[in-house]
Amino acid sequence: MVKLWTRRARPSLAGTWLLAAALAVVLVDELVDGTKGAALPLIRRDLGLTYGQIGLLASAPLVLGSLLELPLGIVAGHGRRRRRAVLAGGVAFILALVAVAVARSFGGLLVAFVLFFPASGAFVGLTQSRLMDADPARSEQHLARWELAGSAGAVAGPPVLVAALAVRGDGQAGGGWRLAYLALAACAALAWLAVARVRPGPEPAPPAETPAPPGPDHSGPGQPDPGQPDPGRPDPGRHSRAGAARRAARALRQPRVLRWLALTQVCDLLGDLLTGFLALYLVDVVHATPAQAALGVAIRLGAGLAADALLVGVLERASGLTLLRAGTLAAAVLYPAFLLVPGLWPKLLVLGALTVVTAPWYPVLQARLYRSLAGQSGIAVSLSSAATLVGGAFPLAVGFLAERFGLGWALASLALAPLGLLAGLWRTCGPAAEGAPAVS
């Protein structure tokens, strides 16, 4: 039976400081993303970019940055070595924002964007893994707070640009985005100071081995998990990079790890990918005005912020897997309704409901990935980067389908996302089936 109701645990003071610093980091990261989306028309006008160059600015950082980030979790390790990687990534994060602010050509801007991606991976991704190691039993609850902070940053991004434009004045609006990026660098510096004040905790213990029931994700009753070390035999390579690489290779042979990696990419189809195409869909397919499309994006972001705030409290009492299944079933109905219902305002109403029911997807799935690799959060970071390389093909596929069949039909293909999640969750009956600790 899945445990539905639990008592709320009281975190330690050190854990509270780490959580606060981690939330500051993801807030700044999403603040950058929200500001970039709003500033892109100004950047295009100021630097005279073509649409092809804008497309390259979107795809090249994702692919090249993911390749640079791929070994990050394995190389960083744990303890002081990971802390140094986080702080170095934070410095690179700040410098990349400054580089964007001073870029005077497409080439300079492209280099800054590409460097920003692995810097964000070190500063943000490794901070998340540090938080997961500090309190693995409450990973879902912490990731719900992580999502809430990120949503707040995304919503606050456009106002940051508006404030920068107001300071610069209408006559210098083209350069106002530069001031916005300098302000973002200052915010990132404050987040870096918060992280620097958190001392490294003890290295997580090797994952304990317990007999697992027979099933598709286990080798048989009483047999050790092939992806975990034998507790009766010391692992001499546990602290080495080569040992971490071997554990990553073993992890890739675990069906449950591959399942959570795949599902975290599938859930993004109705997440960031849908948000990225939403304004174009409302203008080109629904025939809304640009102002109405902007309002639609604002409703999407606002509903996400409200849903994430609600989820923080709900996950203190309810099972994440139960919320995930319920939200997936609801999305399987709501997303086709969003595409089929006539009129702008009914669509936006359904969109708000869809945003609410999909709120548990990322925190629950990402928490399950970390828990399937208990004590190996760095490996989870590297494997997530590898999965992102594969997931980076989804936007290109949607663009190709839109070019061939129209944007409406291209977005209709995203209805496969809840079906894929349901298929992946079909044989997941609860924490015991995953060999993971019970949800607290």
Q: Is residue 218 part of a domain?
A: no
Whether 85 and 193 map to the same domain: the answer is: yes
Whether 178 and 280 map to the same domain: the answer is: no
Whether 264 and 171 map to the same domain: the answer is: no
Whether 30 and 127 map to the same domain: the answer is: yes
Q: What distance in Å separates the CA atoms of residue 272 and residue 429, rounded to the nearest whole number?
A: 28
Q: Is residue 239 part of a domain?
A: no
Q: What are the structure tokens assigned to 36, written together? A: 């970039």
Domain that holds residue 389: 247-440
Q: Is 269 helix (H, G, I), strand (E, B) or coil?
A: helix
Q: Which of 225, 216, 251, 232 is closest to 370 using CA atoms?
A: 251
Q: Is residue 216 part of a domain?
A: no
| Radius of gyration for the alpha carbons in the chain, expressed in angstroms and rounded | 22
Q: Is residue 238 part of a domain?
A: no
With a threshold of 0.75, does the pTM exceed it? no
Calculate the CA dihedral of residues 368, 274, 31, 314 and round it to 10 degrees: -40
Number of domains in the chain: 2
CATH number where 80 lies: 1.20.1250.20
| Per-residue pLDDT tens listing for the chain (440 residues) | 334 333 444 555 566 888 899 999 999 999 998 888 778 778 878 888 876 677 678 777 877 777 777 777 666 666 788 888 899 999 999 999 999 999 999 999 999 998 998 898 889 988 888 888 888 888 888 888 998 998 899 888 888 888 888 886 644 455 688 999 999 999 999 999 999 988 765 555 544 444 444 444 443 434 444 444 444 444 444 445 566 667 777 776 778 888 888 898 888 899 888 887 887 788 888 998 866 877 888 888 889 899 999 998 888 888 888 999 999 999 999 999 999 999 999 999 999 999 999 999 988 998 888 888 876 777 777 777 777 777 767 877 887 788 788 888 989 999 999 999 998 887 654 444 444 443 33
Q: Is residue 212 part of a domain?
A: no
Whether 344 and 413 map to the same domain: the answer is: yes
Whether 198 and 251 map to the same domain: the answer is: no
Q: What distance in Å separates the CA atoms of residue 380 and residue 133, rounded to the nearest whole number?
A: 11
Q: Is residue 119 part of a domain?
A: yes
Compute how many other C-beta atoms are within 10 angstroms of the C-beta atom of residue 270. 25
Q: Is 400 helix (H, G, I), strand (E, B) or coil?
A: helix
Whether 140 and 260 map to the same domain: the answer is: no
DSSP 289-356: -HHHHHHHHHHHHHHHHHHHHHHHHHTTTS-HHHHHHHHHHHHHHHHHHHHHS-SHHHHHHHHHHHHH
